[in-house]
Amino acid sequence: MKAILDFLFNFLSRLWEELRARLEMLLALVLLLGSLSLFYLAYQAYEEKKNKAQKYERTFARVIEVKWHESGNYYPILGFYTLDSQKVLISAKHEVGTLQDFEVGNVFEVYYDIINPDDLHIIKNEWFGSIFYSISATCLLLVGSWLAFLAWRKYRRWHRLLKYGQTLQADIKSVARDLQVRLNGTPAYVLYCEWSSPSEDLAYAFRSEPLPFDPTPFLPTHNKMTVLIDPKEPESYYIEVAELKKMYAASPQ
């Protein structure tokens, strides 16, 4: 019965590692889809400006007078010359602001409809939308691509490790705190192991995943840990800490 439980616990631990890699890939995919959405919004903003440029004429209009708006703000009376040199005065009631925004004599660049000059719009931050969406989309694209690459590499290594990995018994060297990683609000513990190749004059050093508990009381008496290693890529390995986690979970807290 104990052998079956150990097998299930180790199997679930490995399954969790594989699922975690898939979740990281899913996060990268969400970021990439978000970047595509922002690129689409940037394109829409560009097309809107392009269509407006085709439909409207651009010119400069001067503030002739400022009137009070029912919203509590003010709107300008703008004067400008059309293409046929006719002077037009427009009450731009949809362009509301403070008195400081529309001081008499100020000049604004505007769009206006040739057929209906009352359809007038002051040009403000003309390309802000396109630039903002493009920069945001580019940032998401770069972050998403980088996360996707890291997740793919991690998944590839883990998949190769499960398929081609070999097990060996490495000597336990030390247990230390990793001040760069915090779990449950405290620095994590890491386990350091070493294995010397009998056929090569080489020693391989291994570092476990960060642990939220001190594994020292649960280390095996023979002072060795099982390590799964890819013989073609020795930097790809995994120290089997599932048994330590199970013993810690079963111990009185």
The CATH number covering residue 74 comes to 2.40.50
Q: At 194, which helix (H) or strand (E)? A: strand 186-196
Q: Are residues 156 and 245 both part of a single domain? A: yes
Q: Are residues 62 and 21 both part of a single domain? A: no
Given a cut of 90, whether residue 189 has pLDDT beyond it is: yes
Domain carrying residue 11: 2-31+152-250
Q: In this predicted structure, what is the pLDDT of residue 195?
A: 93
Nearest one of 206, 213, 203, 209 to 192, comparing CA atoms: 206
Average pLDDT over residues 53-62: 84
Q: Report residue 192: phi and psi, to 5°.
A: -110, 130
Q: Put the strands of the sheet holding 224-229 in their side by side order.
A: 203-207, 186-196, 166-183, 224-229, 237-239
Given a cut of 60, whether residue 15 has pLDDT beyond it is: no
Report yes or no on 198 lying in a domain: yes
Report yes or no on 163 lying in a domain: yes
Residues written for the chain: 253
Assign 21 a pLDDT band (cuts: 50, 70, 90): low
Higher per-residue confidence, 121 vs 214: 214
Q: Are residues 11 and 70 both part of a single domain? A: no
Secondary structure letter of residue 218 according to DSSP: G
The last residue of one of the domains, among 70, 92, 118, is 118
Secondary structure letter of residue 51 according to DSSP: H
Average pLDDT over residues 218-233: 90
Any residues with CB less than 8 A from the CB of 74 and at least 6 apart, and which? 66, 67, 68, 96, 97, 98, 99, 101, 102
Q: Are residues 103 and 178 both part of a single domain? A: no
Report yes or no on 38 lying in a domain: no
Return d(Cα 127, Cα 71) in angstroms, integer: 28
Report yes or no on 37 lying in a domain: no
Q: Are residues 162 and 202 both part of a single domain? A: yes
Assign 137 a pLDDT band (cuts: 50, 70, 90): very high
Q: Distances from the Cα of 183 to the Cαs of 24, 211, 221, in angstroms?
A: 19, 8, 27
- Per-chain mean pLDDT for the chain: 84
The tally of domains found in the chain comes to 2
Given a cut of 80, whether residue 239 has pLDDT beyond it is: yes
Given a cut of 60, whether residue 27 has pLDDT beyond it is: yes
Report yes or no on 216 lying in a domain: yes
Q: Are residues 111 and 181 both part of a single domain? A: no
Report yes or no on 178 lying in a domain: yes
Average pLDDT over residues 123-138: 84
Rg (CA), the chain: 33
Q: Are residues 197 and 246 both part of a single domain? A: yes
Q: In this predicted structure, what is the pLDDT of residue 211?
A: 93
CB burial of 210-226 (b: ≥16 within 10 Å; e: otherwise) equals bbebebeebbeeeeebb
Q: Are residues 168 and 208 both part of a single domain? A: yes
Any residues with CB less than 8 A from the CB of 227 and at least 6 apart, and which? 167, 168, 169, 170, 193, 195, 206, 237, 238, 239, 240
Largest CA distance in the chain: 98
What confidence tens digit (pLDDT) does each residue in 91-124 have?
888 788 887 888 888 999 888 887 787 788 888 8
Assign 18 a pLDDT band (cuts: 50, 70, 90): low
Average pLDDT over residues 138-166: 85
Instruction: Tell me the whole-structure pTM to 2 decimals.
Output: 0.52
Q: Are residues 63 and 25 both part of a single domain? A: no
